[in-house]
A and B are shown apart, each in its own frame.
Chain A
Amino acid sequence: MRIVCLLFASTLDLNPLAEACLRFTPKIAASSEAIFLDISGCEKLYSESSLFLRIGILLKRFQLEAKFAIADDIPSALAFAKYGEKEKAHLPIEALQVFANPFAVSDSLSKAILSFRRLGIDTIGELSAIPRKSVAVRFGKEGLYAIQMIENASHIAWRNFTPPLQIVEASDVESGTVLHNLEPLLFGLKTLMDRALVRLRGHLKLATLIELKLTQEKYSTVKNAVRVFRLELSQPQGTVLSLLPIVREHLDRELQRNPLEAPLKHVEFSILQSVSGRGAQKDFFSKKEEEEENFRSIVARLNDRLGLDKAFFAASQESYLPERAWKKNAVKPKPVQLSIPERPLRVLKTPKKLKQEEDFFILAAKRWKVEALLGPERLSGDWWLQDEARDYFKVLTESGEELWIFSAPGKRDYFLHGIFD
């Protein structure tokens, strides 16, 4: 075995780099602090020195720094990288921990290591002073296992790295003519999407980022033969019924702006990102799941059409001020009961200044005769944002409408802020 170890100073998300290392060998293993590449049998593809050069370039592209070392087994490679040694015998005794478990940072052997140090055994090589039969009785099974692993490190099980899930479905198209209508494309696409989503369901996941790649015939007039459409779904989708309308609308809009210029040759549908979704078995006796999917589909379509800012869930949040009493939410919020005085259902985005004439409040052409003014409810506002205090009143009018107005404490300028229904 020839194992290369890349050791990082801090715990990082090493998955992207591990994925990139797949170009060197299909046998990759990763822990929280290191990536291991099994390059046994790759000597015909590259030399070890050229591999190190290429790893160096790769690390630069990922803007990462790592120590790397090569050895005949996983723990030795890690220990060499960690302690900057090239001979097992010269490794400090602390490397014993690496031999006990190279895939996890642990200090389970710290007591044994301290005892070794106290006994004057400072390196792995000096462990030979200790009769093997004496190890277990003094340093326990873990100590014995670690020492045995020094000799038999190649027996440590390989933990193969699996890159994150990406599902790709593709098919060739024989249309012969330029598409002026989406339906034929969607007809074929539906099958691809269906297959992809069924595969996704097998992983109990829902799609959040999809990509559609349309390859056109390479006519001389075509600038970009490959058109890529990437859709970030604000709500995760799991069925073709919910996803297809989103894709249809998106394509419709995009292709109206930039129509296809040549007949389609190839269509590829990919699910690039997903989240954990639901149980493996669909519940056929309840419509709840279906309803939820439809709802999510509508929200996702609205988001795609209007933007994330324009379509969202509103959740109430604890604030005395009406304009801060709600917030945008990515997911549907649960209803909550708030213990604040009654608030109007309709609140104006910008309060409107009211004119006053005798018993009347006037706003543009609208006149309300005041029957009673209830309050005030005094709100200081968020003083740390330098809010001014407001006195709110409920106005009972002759017409039966109930207004929610405010003024600055002690002032007589009133503003309409809401209307009770």
Chain B
Amino acid sequence: MFAELKCKTNFSFLKGASNPDELVHRAIEIGLESLAINDVNGVYGLPKAYWRAKEAPSFKLITGVDIHIQDHPSITLLARDRTAYGLLCRIITAAHADKEKGKAFLTLEQLAFFSSNKGFSGLVCLPNAKSNYSLLKALFEERLYIPISRFLDGHDDQRGTEALQVAKDYSAPLLATNDVLYHVKERKPLQDAFTAIGAGVSLMDAGFKLLPNGERYLKSPFEMKLLFKDLPEAIRASEEIAESCTFSMSELRYRYPSEWIPKQHTPESYLEELALQGAKERYKGNIPDEVMRQLQHEFSLIRQLKFADYFLTIYEIVEFARSRDILCQGRGSAANSAVCYCLGITAIDPVRTNLLFERFISLERNEPPDIDVDFEHERREEVIQHIYEKYGRDRAAMVSAVITYQKRSAFRELSKAFGIDVGTLSAKKLLRDFDELEKQSIAPNCREQINALAEEMHGFPRHISIHSGGFTLSADPIIEIVPVEPARMEGRTIIQWDKYDLDYLGLLKIDVLALGMLSAIKKNLDLVGMKLHEIPAEDHATYKMIQKADTVGTFQVESRAQMNMSGRLMPRTFYDLVVQVAIVRPGPIVGKMVHPYLKRKRGLEAVTYPHPKLREILGKTLGIPLFQEQLMKIAIELGGFTGGEADHLRRAIGAWRASGSIEEVAVRLLRGLRKNGVSDEYSKTILEHMKGFAHYGFPESHAASFALLTYASCYLKCHQPAEFACSLINSQPMGFYAPHTIIDDAKLHGVKVLPIDLNQSAWDCTMEKGAVRLGLRMVMGLAEKEAAEIIQNRPYHSCQDFLQKTKLRTDVLHRLAIGDAFQSFGMNQRDTLWQILSAKTKESSNQLDLFTGITAQDSASFKTLNGYEAVSSDYAAYGASTKAHPMAELRKIRKLPKLTSFEAKRAPPKTYIKTSGLLLVRQKPPTANGVCFGAIEDEFGFLDLVLFQKEFEEAREVFLNECFLIVGGYIERDGHSVSMIVKKVEAIFTEKVQAKRLSVEPTQYFW
């Protein structure tokens, strides 16, 4: 039977208008027994095709590639067996090596070089027209086939004649193919749109770049036989090739790297030994029975699923980090595993916290678990380099991330194809102004046509990028499993598959993630000479601080929303923190779990359990399910699910939001609940909560892991505020707040902050007799090596001395001058700048100096800076000021409302007040129905702002463009949390001249 051997998916990027699974599904549907996928310079789409092909055991997926050759038409290569597939991956890797992204190619010489490799005899070559046939014949011998296609485009005769001639001249068999670009002919418009997008022209101007007709679809064996009824041998050739190709992606079973495992051990025995040894340390030599039971349960599952090597690999990486004193901690569902806890990968005891192991690994799922480990963000590179070094670049590579078209981005791209000048309009603005813009296009029903295509294009790959930390490792060369290509980031290589592809194929993936807070905590601990585990648990003062929402700079509970929650939830225990970390997420908010929980927590509502079994499951969260694990437990205990089925339910809920319809599995849950005597009303409430879980939410294990860091950061802030601020600034950029807020907050806590000094400051901020000395790293534009130059040439006795000893750039010198870094020489900002201006110009233009006869000693007198100007100067130099808060100085020179944030927060509820401040945060979450949140800050602290849609629209211009604001509104209180319902917003600076204004960019999260 005919087999289609030339077919591109949308992973050929703008060439190919169907998903791999659509093509495979269609192939099966129309009775094709085999289909080859050969994307341009890659095997990106193969795992997805394989996943779909698994559904039809008799269907054969053939692997191939359309490889670009320099100064030569591209050729299609098909792999007959595993060895040939390995070589194919090597060839693709070579084509990408040292090339720009998207410009991969091979030379004919390279191809010839590969012919001596093992596996070359398993490669079939299908050249395009006008190839160097004699060379290809010499290389591929009887495996060279001449493709012949009939596209009904008026060139069939000419193409056919040429193909016949070539076949005759080189004694190569003809091969019938439709060189497929999409699964059904209805995708031709999308293919045309891609062509226009790729060429950067509109469809109307694309001309012959487009296909004349839609014939390049996946044709059935019957259609192809009819089309080539005069050339039955060409059809037969496709059958022959398909039969000879025996390779299946399922053969890609790889071995975990395990050469470092002691010889007397199997991976399983070694893992068990290490875990038990770790358990002894964790439980101080006395492993509780329940922990032992849990460990045995996990060992048995790990043994059955053969995941021991995987755990050991992660253990090795974590051990390396520990040996280098790099702080790290596992996050995510790995925290559900007692083995991970005992190996030191995670820090949460899952037995003590009653976490569900099936959330991590399940027999039914039979997929490698996902272990994500956070490392100090500044030192993660050391870990990555260790992995490359230990396993080699041919055995370790980073996983790619496929960036896909979303509906809006697809709409924007398609608008361009329809001849609409979208310019720099964002996708959102484009949609808003589309009625006017669509007049530019000559196409009728433009919006409908674009919408229909955007719908099809949604989820199509746009490009591949580097995953934030995903690594894949193998005992065998990785480039024989999947091609590796350079990432945009220098020194990084990525594989052509993403984490889902690895899941499909059952391959290993580890996430080596970077977490800024780990760096900050580590630096803080080093400054005070502590270890993480030495932080005392359940410290009363720490919780008091959190309750007061005094958490600027801490982990997870520092955002305005979290601070607001602190005042309402009033955490008193570690588990309260776990809840708080998890509760301010779209999942619990949309699932309407927040208010019931808060009411129960504050004793305003009775804690009830609609079923006795729910007491055990939901007891910790006062009868409200806040975590996915709880839902899974409900499914197991009351819905009659197995652990694996419950995990399937979790995944189905995740997909629910995208599909919009409830999965069968959820219906089964409801049936199970009813059977177990749960009332319909409560079942409906559970459904409501499930809806919420379809949005982003934390699993309990993840929240617990994060809460540990939250607690640690809060403890350090509470007891060592100076060191905490110092470490936090030294770990920038990270977190929610800019350094100026961290400095002002530290000052509010009595910390003395010393300015930058050329004779004292190091690169980082340092501790100086209990005070924080700002480091040179804060000076905008100053490179670390320039700072090293400053430090190396110390001491300096005068400005002139400094200028003579260093060779800094003019802009940096100016910033040092206006940032008051020369004050220890008794010079103010303006005098210093005056001197620098002269010195630098003289240096760059001696001739001018001779001509004018000016010396650097000439003097001028300048106005002394007022307080506001001095603070502004500091901000312009290093984005913060040690002198004062800008609002404190503004009050002296402007007429501002007398009420400060401190007084505003003490005003009775519903009082209308007017105050002023520096806008720090603007937030407009998608779930807030047009409500915008903000926070202003003055020298006394923060004040939260809430702008309802009407007020936001009225104040939009000022609120979005100004940072110094006067706000008027009503005070609202909820527990310790105070906010202002804003009615009026004014700008403090009304004059148009920008030059004298201090501008501070607020943190902004807008949707």
Contact = CB atoms under 8 A, between A and B. Distances in A.
Interaction A to B: yes
Interface of A: 92-94, 115, 117-122, 129-131, 133-134, 136-141, 317-320, 338-342, 375-380, 382-386, 389, 391-392
Contacts of B993: 92, 94
B188 A380 contact: yes
A136 B848 contact: yes
7 contacts: A118-B817, A120-B865, A122-B996, A129-B860, A341-B155, A383-B192, A386-B444
A7 to B, nearest CB: 15
Contacts of A141: 848
B849 interface: yes
A384 B443 contact: yes
Contacts of A378: 152-153, 212-213, 215
B444 A385 contact: yes
A137 B212 contact: no
Contact of A137 (B206, B211, B842, B863): B842
B996 A118 contact: no
B212 A320 contact: yes
Contacts of A140: 841, 845, 848
B212 A118 contact: no
B213 A92 contact: no
Contacts of B204: 382, 384
Interface stretch (B118-126, B828-836, B902-910): B828-836
B873 interface: yes
A121 B869 CA distance: 12
Interface in B211-247: 211-215
Nearest to A342: B154
Interface string B824-856: 000001100110011001100100110010101
6 tightest Cβ-Cβ pairs between the two chains A and B = A318-B207, A341-B154, A377-B154, A138-B837, A378-B152, A384-B443
Given A118-B818, A384-B418, A92 B212 contact: no
B213 A379 contact: yes
Contact of B873 (A94, A118, A139, A375): A118
A383 B192 CA distance: 10
Contacts of B604: none
A377 B995 contact: no
Contact of B152 (A129, A339, A376): A376
Interface in B785-835: 814, 817-818, 829-830, 833-834
Contacts of A137: 838, 841-842, 848-849, 852, 854, 856, 858
A117 B995 contact: yes
B915 to A, nearest CB: 29
A134 B444 contact: no
A380 B190 CA distance: 13
Contacts of B854: 133-134, 136-137
A391 B848 CA distance: 79
B809 to A, nearest CB: 13
A107 to B, nearest CB: 13
By CB atoms of chain B within 10 A, which of A130, A338, A392 has the most?
A130
B858 A133 contact: yes
B860 A130 contact: yes
Contacts of B863: 120
Given A379-B213, A380-B211, 7 more contacts: A93-B995, A120-B865, A137-B858, A339-B208, A379-B212, A385-B443, A386-B444
B442 interface: yes
Contact of A115 (B203, B207, B837): B837
B861 interface: yes
Contacts of B215: 378
Contact of B860 (A118, A134, A375): A134
A117 B996 contact: yes
A15 to B, nearest CB: 27
Contacts of B207: 317-319
B213 A389 contact: yes
A115 B818 CA distance: 10
**Residues of B in contact with A, size category:** 35 or more
B152 A377 contact: yes
Given A377-B154, A378-B215, A385-B442, A120 B869 contact: yes
By CB atoms of chain B within 10 A, which of A118, A378, A391 has the most?
A118
B449 interface: yes
A131 B852 CA distance: 13
A380 B213 contact: yes
Nearest to A376: B152
B862 interface: yes
Contacts of A320: 208, 212
B838 A138 contact: yes
B186 to A, nearest CB: 10
B852 A136 contact: yes
B440 to A, nearest CB: 13
By CB atoms of chain B within 10 A, which of A131, A134, A341, A376 has the most?
A134
Contacts of B209: 318
A131 B848 contact: no
A119 B833 CA distance: 7
Contacts of B152: 376-378, 391
A317 B155 CA distance: 19
B833 to A, nearest CB: 6
A389 B862 CA distance: 80
Given A92-B995, A140-B848, A384-B449, A129 B862 contact: yes
Contact of A377 (B153, B858, B862, B873): B153
A131 B208 contact: no
B735 interface: no
A383 B838 contact: no
Contacts of B211: 380
By CB atoms of chain B within 10 A, which of A137, A139, A392 has the most?
A137
Given A92-B995, A115-B814, A318 B208 contact: yes
Nearest to A144: B852
B547 to A, nearest CB: 45
A16 to B, nearest CB: 27
B189 interface: yes
Contacts of B869: 120
B838 A134 contact: yes
A376 B153 CA distance: 8
Contacts of B837: 115, 138-139
Nearest to B865: A120
Nearest to B834: A119
B152 to A, nearest CB: 4
Contacts of B203: 382, 384
A131 B859 CA distance: 8
Contacts of A386: 444
Nearest to A117: B995
B686 to A, nearest CB: 48
Nearest to A319: B207
A279 to B, nearest CB: 35
Nearest to B193: A384
B446 to A, nearest CB: 8
Contact of A138 (B206, B208, B834, B873): B834
Contacts of B214: 380, 389
B212 A380 contact: yes
Interface string B700-731: 00000000000000000000000000000000
Contacts of B873: 118
A340 B188 contact: no
Contacts of B996: 117, 122
A48 to B, nearest CB: 27
A318 B860 CA distance: 71
Interface in B851-897: 852, 854, 856, 858, 860-863, 865, 869, 873
Contacts of B995: 92-94, 117, 122
B849 to A, nearest CB: 6
Given A377-B153, A379-B212, A119 B830 contact: yes
A396 to B, nearest CB: 14
Nearest to A136: B852
A382 B841 CA distance: 64
Contacts of A376: 152
Interface string B405-426: 0000000000000100000000
